[in-house]
Amino acid sequence: MSENEKDMWDASRDPRWTSLILDSIGDGVFTVDREGKITSFNRAAEEITGFSREEAIGQYCHEIFRANICFEDCPLRRTAQTKERIVNLEVTILSKDNREIPISISTAQIVDEQGQVIGAVETFRDLSLIRQLQEEVSGRYRFEDIVSRSKAFSRIFQVLPDIAQSDSTVLLCGESGTGKELFASAIHNLSKRCKGPFVKVNCGALPETLLESELFGYKRGAFTGAVVDKPGRFKIAEGGTLFLDEVGDLSLGTQVKLLRVLERKEYEPLGGIKTERADVRIVAATNLDLEELVARKRFREDLYYRLNVVRIDIPPLRERPEDIPLLIEHFLHRLNRKMGKQVRRLSDKALQILLDYTYPGNVRELQNILEHAMILCKGVEIQPRHLPAYLTRRTPLTSPPRSQTLAGAEILREKEKEAILSVLQRSSFRLSEAAKDLGIHRSTLWRKMKRLGIEKPRSVAKSQ
């Protein structure tokens, strides 16, 4: 090598040059040492993740990326340990502001001059735009596990991240099986509290005193049998989200206590002298008409306003039939995986039956119907005979007068009545059995029957 060549500037060995190159490419690039701590982080990585280089360097990569696979099967660790290179693996990370970002990643080992592994490098590409375009093309919206292509849902999806981030109380209203719990957990997952617990309490399932000790906990000696302190759900949910399901079923006494927690952000466990601070975000849900309960003095107006800070109304499935095919596809895919089956589609007739039905039990009922069909279906295509009999059997009682002049809401009401009647008939008006088929609670079915004016036929009532 000539003197001249020796003196020549070797760009590949100049760290300034390397970082200039790294910063000028559009893909995110970062490196980790053998422990998985970040040692470099380029400009695109900063832009995609929202974390600055200073924040990222020195952190474990899972603390910055928080991807779905970070904790299960970290690709970088795999590469560092097995030399296996990963090419274009699609994962979802969380950005600094907790947005889900789909990315495609590739990894490689970094080996020093002696052949020792000193770390790994990962390059990643932001797929958000591609995904958004794909979804626009297919006319589908998706949020976490919630699938829909309806206009109503797309409006909800647009505001959901902001609602989730806001920490305000959210009230989810919708019929049984419309996805209230799914929304509650999506709100938690998209919120700043996502790393904290998500705790659910069913306010309708317990008698008043039990519910109160469940919510607020008790101290040792609070009553006979209270031999140790028991933390309430408010305590367990600290730093996270408390999901108050069936909030319309709360007794008036418990409503007062809940109101106090919401107003003061404090509560006292049963038998306790110390006031506890409640650092929880409340998401409440109901399938009842809270305004009506307020009017009937069954629900406190002040609590209603406290809960109704941000309200999301989830429309029933019969008002968004465009979601039925999408949900069928979603559930077929899921159930195939769960049941180890290969069911690909529904025959035209079977699909028509599902499109014509009104789903009093909403999405849960559709899911139950498909599960039923998948158990019976041995091939790749679901036929009408695989569907629950109540969908295919029509009886005289199930044909209400249908006039061409009925308004939209009335048609829906009649269709719902028809569907419920048909299920009730099949179960000889045994409410528990019918409610199970519909995927709704017995009391919900009873309320629907009252609203729709469905009565047990005398002959049935007598024979039971």
Ligand X SMILES: Nc1ncnc2c1ncn2[C@@H]1O[C@H](COP(=O)(O)OP(=O)(O)OP(=O)(O)O)[C@@H](O)[C@H]1O
Residue 241 within binding range of ligand X, rule CB under 6 A: no
Residue 258 within binding range of ligand X, rule CB under 6 A: no
Give the separation between CA 406 and CA 329, rounded to whole angstroms. Answer: 32
Residue of 308, 205, 314 whose CA lies nearest to 249: 205
Give the separation between CA 189 and CA 164, rounded to whole angstroms. Answer: 8
Asked if residue 106 lies in contact with residue 147, where contact means CB atoms within 8 angstroms, the answer is: no
CA distances from 167 to 136, 283, 310 (A): 30, 10, 10
Q: Minimum distance from CB of 361 to Mg ion (Å)?
A: 12
Tell me which of Mg ion, ligand X, none is bound by residue 363, counting a contact when its beta carbon lies within the kind-specific cut-off of 5 to 8 angstroms: ligand X
Pick 109 or 202: Cβ nearer Mg ion: 202
Residue of 251, 248, 260, 272 whose CA lies nearest to 208: 251
Residue 367 within binding range of ligand X, rule CB under 6 A: yes
Q: Minimum distance from CB of 55 to Mg ion (Å)?
A: 38
Structure-block tokens of residue 430: 């045994």
Q: Minimum distance from CB of 173 to Mg ion (Å)?
A: 12
One of 36, 161, 177, 360 touching ligand X (CB under 6 A): 177
Q: What value does the CA radius of gyration of the chain take, rounded to a whole number of Å? A: 28
Residue 181 within binding range of ligand X, rule CB under 6 A: yes
Cβ of 114: how many Cβ atoms within 10 Å?
Answer: 6
DSSP-assigned letters across all residues of 434-448:
HHHHHTS-HHHHHHH
Give the separation between CA 148 and CA 26, rounded to whole angstroms. Answer: 33
Pick 181 or 279: Cβ nearer Mg ion: 181
Residue 222 within binding range of ligand X, rule CB under 6 A: no
Restricting to residues 176-205, name those near Mg ion by CB under 5 A: 181
Tell me which of Mg ion, ligand X, none is bound by residue 387, counting a contact when its beta carbon lies within the kind-specific cut-off of 5 to 8 angstroms: none
How many residues of this chain interact with Mg ion, rule: CB under 5 A? 1
> 241: buried, middle or exposed (CB in 10 Å: 19+, 13-18, 0-12)?
buried
Q: Binding string to ligand X for residues 319 to 358, with x set by CB under 6 A, is what?
A: --------x--x----------------------------
Q: Binding string to ligand X for residues 267 to 306, with x set by CB under 6 A, is what?
A: --------------------x-------------------
One of 42, 49, 123, 178 touching ligand X (CB under 6 A): 178
Q: Determine the 3-state secondary structure of 264 from DSSP.
A: helix
One of 31, 106, 123, 176 touching ligand X (CB under 6 A): 176
Greatest extent of the chain over all pairs of C-alpha atoms, in Å: 110
Tell me which of ligand X, Mg ion, none is bound by residue 241, counting a contact when its beta carbon lies within the kind-specific cut-off of 5 to 8 angstroms: none
Restricting to residues 124-153, name those near ligand X by CB under 6 A: 145-148
Give the separation between CA 153 and CA 320, rounded to whole angstroms. Answer: 9
Give the separation between CA 433 and CA 361, rounded to whole angstroms. Answer: 13
Structure-block tokens of residue 366: 């559709």
Residue 174 within binding range of ligand X, rule CB under 6 A: yes
Residue 425 within binding range of ligand X, rule CB under 6 A: no
One of 36, 75, 161, 179 touching ligand X (CB under 6 A): 179
Pick 261 or 317: Cβ nearer ligand X: 317
Structure-block tokens of residue 240: 């996270």
Residues in contact with ligand X by the rule CB under 6 A: 145-148, 174, 176-182, 287, 327, 330, 363-364, 367
Residues in contact with Mg ion by the rule CB under 5 A: 181
